[in-house]
Amino acid sequence: MKVLCVESEDDLYGIIVKVREGKLQYKQNHIHIHGNPYLRLLRKEVEILVKEKYGENHLKDKNRKNEIAGISREIRSLKIKITRLENKKATLLNDERCFLTRFSLDKDPLESYKRIIQGAIHPYLEDNEVLDIETANEAIKSYSKAVDNPQGKAELMIFYVECGNNFTLSYGDIDENFYDSVLDMYELAIETVQELPIDNQKDFRERLYEIMESGSGIGWGYSDGLSGMYHKAFPDEI
């Protein structure tokens, strides 16, 4: 059964007038929709009415626009799936390279993980890239499994927060899940930095402070969260 969607009260009134004038055949159905009676009309007669009011091509234009909108939704959905699969593939490839990472002395193993994090937590929306917090988190977990290096882990965590912070500064208000994820990583970064030798903390603390400062004024409790965690961890800098 086709259900007629009336776009305006004027259209509904026009149909009622035509029914009363006997220009639209109808049959009242005994089965009600949501408790309300409804009329069954002849599709051809309704299409003629639409053409008379809006023109010959109105229905074709309407159907074409609906089809284009449906295709666009499907394309966006596929792009999101493709991006997630590509990010997942990159993470798995990094897991596969864990052995090589452990014993690589001539290359910086952080760079490959940073590329994954940046692509996932600071996508370029104008290029139809999508935010993928899970992949960014997995990259840090993968590095932690591959390399026993707290300083490298702190670097990736702070880089993650820097990317997330820059993302919201670039694109404006995001959502609660995004800010909660960045705040969680900021807290983990602070804890990791505090476990490092004092001599290795200075640069990290400066970057954590800069994140807090640049995030000032952002909503969803993000700004207050950064400030609260930083000053609680480093009260000597209040």
Burial tier of 84 (Cβ tally within 10 Å: 0-12, 13-18, 19+): middle
Higher pLDDT, 181 or 29: 181
DSSP state of 196: S
What is 91-119 written as a DSSP string?
HHHHHHTHHHHHH--SS-THHHHHHHHHH
Task: Please report which confidence band the pLDDT of residue 134 belongs to, taking 50, 70 and 90 as the band edges.
Answer: very high
Res 45: pLDDT: 66
Average pLDDT estimate for 183-196: 97
Q: Is the pLDDT of residue 7 over 70?
A: no
Distance (Å, rounded) from C-alpha 78 to C-alpha 178?
22
The total of other beta-carbon atoms located within 10 Å of residue 91's CB is: 21
How much is the pTM? 0.59
**Ordered domains of the chain (ranges, CATH):** 9-56 (no CATH), 62-237 (1.25.40)
Distance (Å, rounded) from C-alpha 63 to C-alpha 71?
12
Res 100: pLDDT: 47
Helices (H), the chain: 9-20, 43-54, 58-96, 98-103, 110-121, 133-146, 150-171, 176-194, 202-214, 222-233
Average pLDDT estimate for 200-206: 95
What are the tens digits of pLDDT across the range 61-98?
A: 777 888 898 898 889 888 888 888 888 777 777 665 55
Higher pLDDT, 84 or 25: 84
Res 2: pLDDT: 47
Please say whether the beta carbons of 142 and 94 come within 8 A.
yes
